[in-house]
């Protein structure tokens, strides 16, 4: 299990943030993935200039967002339908809706401002979460609240270029259905994601080290 991140340096993070902003260009939101960042270290992220944070676990989202309400919080982890009620009050955007049961829970617990992304397994990788591209029209029709875009996590590769075709396919799907938000790209391939139309990149290691 990865170790919790402690001892963060605000100046180093600020420098990394500036570099990443230059690489992705204007109009792309940089989300700091804080799954392994302790609650006590979040003030360092604020000092470094970060404003948008993403948490993977419902209980940690609740704890961190309650302690640090000044950040904008997104939920970026695998979404379990039984956790939707816990997540909705704290997440301004849920990135990972990928089941009919989650849609039903959103119908029951969403607020007028609840927004979410459908997670699409564009690589059709059996080891990755997400709906199949062919299921997207059905999910859009069944969605009870505001779908604003799509998210994907392509198969891991040490070569960032390996992700390009997956990001391009997600962008084409979004365009075909009039969706504007695209959450794609992590520390390994965020520059490629931005070049292919990402509006949000989810960055962890490249910010902190």
**DSSP label of 130:** S
pLDDT bin (cut points 50, 70, 90) of residue 65 is very high
In this prediction, what percent of the chain has a pLDDT beyond 70? 99
120-167 pLDDT tens trace: 999 999 988 999 999 999 999 998 777 999 999 999 899 999 999 999
- Domain residue limits at 95: 10-208
- Residue 112 is predicted with a pLDDT of 85
Tell whether 1 is covered by a domain. Answer: no
- Residue 43 is predicted with a pLDDT of 97
Tell whether 177 is covered by a domain. Answer: yes
Tell whether 187 is covered by a domain. Answer: yes
CA distances from 194 to 10, 45, 90, 190 (A): 25, 22, 27, 6
CA distance 204 to 34: 7
Tell whether 195 is covered by a domain. Answer: yes
Domain containing 63 — which CATH number? Answer: 3.20.20.10
Exposed/middle/buried for 12, CB within 10 Å: 0-12, 13-18, 19+?
Answer: middle
Tell whether 4 is covered by a domain. Answer: no
Tell whether 152 is covered by a domain. Answer: yes
Indicate the SS3 state at residue 163: helix
Q: Is the pLDDT of residue 4 over 90?
A: no
CA within 13 Å, CB half, 34: 33
Q: In the chain, how many domains are there?
A: 1
- Residue 2 is predicted with a pLDDT of 67
Tell whether 5 is covered by a domain. Answer: no
């Amino acid at each position: 299990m990865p170790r919790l991140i402690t001892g963060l340096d605000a100046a180093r993070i600020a420098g990394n943030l500036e570099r990443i902003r230059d690489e992705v260009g204007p109009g792309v939101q940089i989300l700091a993935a804080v799954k392994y960042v302790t609650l006590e270290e979040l003030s360092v992220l604020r000092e470094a200039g970060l404003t948008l944070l993403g948490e993977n676990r419902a209980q940690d989202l609740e704890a961190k967002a309650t302690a640090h309400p000044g950040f904008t919080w997104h939920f970026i982890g695998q979404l379990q339908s039984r956790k939707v009620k816990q997540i909705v009050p704290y997440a301004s955007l849920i990135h990972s809706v990928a089941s009919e049961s989650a849609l039903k829970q959103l119908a029951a617990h969403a607020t007028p401002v609840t927004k979410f992304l459908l997670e699409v397994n564009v690589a059709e990788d059996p080891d990755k979460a997400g709906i199949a591209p062919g299921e997207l029209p059905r999910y859009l029709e069944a969605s009870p609240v505001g779908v604003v875009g799509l998210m994907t996590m392509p198969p891991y590769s040490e070569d960032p270029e390996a992700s390009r075709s997956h990001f391009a396919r997600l962008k084409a799907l979004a365009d075909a259905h009039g969706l504007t938000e695209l959450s794609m790209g992590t520390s390994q391939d965020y520059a490629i994601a931005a070049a292919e139309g990402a509006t949000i990149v989810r960055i962890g290691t490249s910010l902190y080290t």
